[in-house]
Amino acid sequence: MHTTPTSAPEAPASGPTLKRVLGLPSLVAFGLTSMGILSVVAVYGAGTEISDGHLPAAYVAALIAMLFTAHSYGQMARHVPVTGGAYAYASRAFGKPVGFLVGWAMMLDYVFLPMVNFLLFGLYLNSLLPAIPPQLAVLMCLLVVGLFSVIGVAWIKKMNFAVVAASVLVILVFVVLAVVNAPDLTVQSVIRPLTLGDGGIAPVMAAAAIVAFAFLGFDGVSTLSEETRNPKKDVPRGIILSTLFAGLGYALFSVAGSLIAPEWRSIENLDAAGTELMQRAGGDVLMVVFVVVNLAGLVLCGTAAQMSVSRVIYAMGRDRILPGALAKLQPRFRTPYVAALLVSAISLVALFITLEQAVYMINFGALIAFAVVNLATVKVLFFELRRRGAKGTLRNLVLPLLGFASIGWLWTSLAWFTYLLGAAWLAVGLAILLARRRKAGGHVGLNFDDGARVDGAAESPEVAGSR
């Protein structure tokens, strides 16, 4: 099959590199932890309110949209197996300036995602221990996550498995108890939230744009390509499997929630709806277990998010788009510790914003990155590498275009202030890009490093040895 000579971002041939320690189970666990299996409760109240009680239908719509995009991430991860995620893929397809702006938009997603976890940690710890002010709990979580993000994936992956298992167990117990204790268990009560309500499809799609937040993190798997033993095979599978498992879990949880609380307006605190749902289903014991597991999950979810954004910043620093100091690796753990500490400093903003503001800003950056990755898949794989034929056309043209269309649909459902603040963020990124361009003497100076590879091009010894 003909392949056009191309280049892609690659780790430098000399100097310290990221450590390849991850396999498929670790990637799936990382993806699930990044999304936070219990993150369904973070948007349960807002999603139920916007969809007027049809949250499961919104999750099904969001899952379909996310699977198309996850497929595109998987395809690009297979052919551009380097760290950086959407930044690397957009750079490969459209050039480094576009890649930078996509990475900058994605940083809005990744920078605010840890903040959401910190804010939720504060809410839930305060609900369990009212003597601890939410802001103090937020600061505690921020410091722990900063430490974990410097330690790196080799140690965190062990905790991921434990928290994923505990989260799945909590959801299963909740589902069973919700069915047993449902005030009105009928076939209609199960099916109703999965269908459209009196408002038609508009409320469901508006809610889907919000609950898409719960899926954010699957793309973080793509940033671990240089820490995966067999990235071309395992990263795409990890992306798809973690997205699918999370979506099924979210839909199941939301159906159970509609059974135990069929009238969503009866929920007293929509921001912390999880505690009330758990208490209705299993009493104080299940509620306390949920809060404890959720707190652990929020710490690891925040860690996964911070690790992802620090690797995007690391990749930009390595490519000299951002200051090169951001590409420094911690000698012992071989993690981008300067980038991680920078994210911790920025995350102090969580002490001054609301949960709703953080969620909306995350969706802006994420949806930009998702849309561009779908287009990058078409440009690189279908047009440049000519991965065509019946199967290739489906994988590299039809599915990515469906992904782009579905993301566009979600895009139209965001709140107006999201566009305003997002445009301001992009304007700052463009100013940085132009300043770097002037400093480089008229061109961005952002060519990919030598030794890069796509498909048939030369592979690094680590990748070649892992195949």
- Give how far Cα 45 sits from Cα of 135, 190, 251, 271, 460, Å: 22, 19, 14, 6, 47
Token pair in block for residue 182? 């449902």
Q: Please give the average per-residue pLDDT across 1-26, as a whole number.
A: 57
Cα separation of 80 and 57, whole Å? 34
Task: Give the residue with greater pLDDT, 466 vs 381.
Answer: 381
Query: Quick one: pLDDT at residue 67?
Result: 92
Where exactly are the structural domains of the chain? 24-450
Mean pLDDT over each residue of the chain, to the nearest integer: 81
Q: What is the pLDDT of residues 354-374, one digit of tens each?
A: 877 777 677 778 888 889 999
What's the burial of 190, exposed, middle or buried (CB within 10 Å: 0-12/13-18/19+)? middle
At 20, is the pLDDT very low, low, confident or very high (cuts 50, 70, 90)?
A: confident
What is the predicted pLDDT for the residue at 329? 83
Domain 24-450 class in CATH: mainly alpha
Tell me which range, 1-15, 44-58, 101-115, 308-322, is most confidently predicted by mean pLDDT.
44-58
pLDDT at position 451 is 33
Categorize the per-residue pLDDT at 16 as very low, low, confident or very high, splitting at 50, 70 and 90: low
* Percentage above 90 pLDDT, the chain: 22
Residue 180 has which token pair?
A: 């047993």
Q: Which residues pair with 22 in a beta bridge?
A: 228
Q: Which of 40-49, 189-198, 434-443 has the lowest mean pLDDT?
A: 434-443
Query: Could you tell me the pTM of the whole model?
Result: 0.73
Helix axis angle for 273-318 and 96-128, nearest 10°, is: 150
Task: Please give the Cα distance from 155 to 79 (Å, whole number).
Answer: 28
Instruction: List phi, psi (to 5°) of 197.
Output: -90, -160
Can you give the pLDDT at residue 450? 33
| Separation in Å, CA 311 to CA 90, 108, 378, 453, 466 | 16, 14, 25, 19, 22
Output the CA–CA distances (angstroms, integers) from residue 248 to 37, 48, 215, in the order listed: 10, 17, 11
Choose between 7 and 248: higher pLDDT.
248
335-348 mean pLDDT? 88
Task: List, for residues 282-310, the tens digit of each pLDDT value.
Answer: 999 999 998 888 888 888 878 877 887 78
**pLDDT tens digits, residue range 37-71?**
777 777 788 888 888 889 999 999 989 888 999 99
Tens of pLDDT, residues 261-281: 888 778 887 777 888 899 999
Q: How far is CA 95 from the centre of its chain?
A: 23
3-state DSSP call for residue 200? strand
Residue 10: pLDDT band (50, 70, 90) is very low
For 138-180, what is each residue's pLDDT tens digit? 999 999 998 888 886 666 667 777 887 888 899 899 999 999 9
Query: Please, which pLDDT band fits residue 212 given cuts at 50, 70 and 90?
Result: confident
| CA–CA distance, 192 with 237 (Å, rounded to integer) | 33
Least confident of 247-256, 411-420, 439-448: 439-448
Distances (CA, A) of 157 to 123, 128, 377, 463, 466: 26, 27, 29, 21, 20
Q: What is the mean pLDDT of residues 184-212?
A: 85
The H-or-E segment that residue 255 falls in is helix 231-260
Residue appearing with tokens 């991965």: 387
Cα 166–Cα 168–Cα 174 angle in degrees, nearest 5? 100
Q: Which amino acid does the sequence have at 236?
A: P
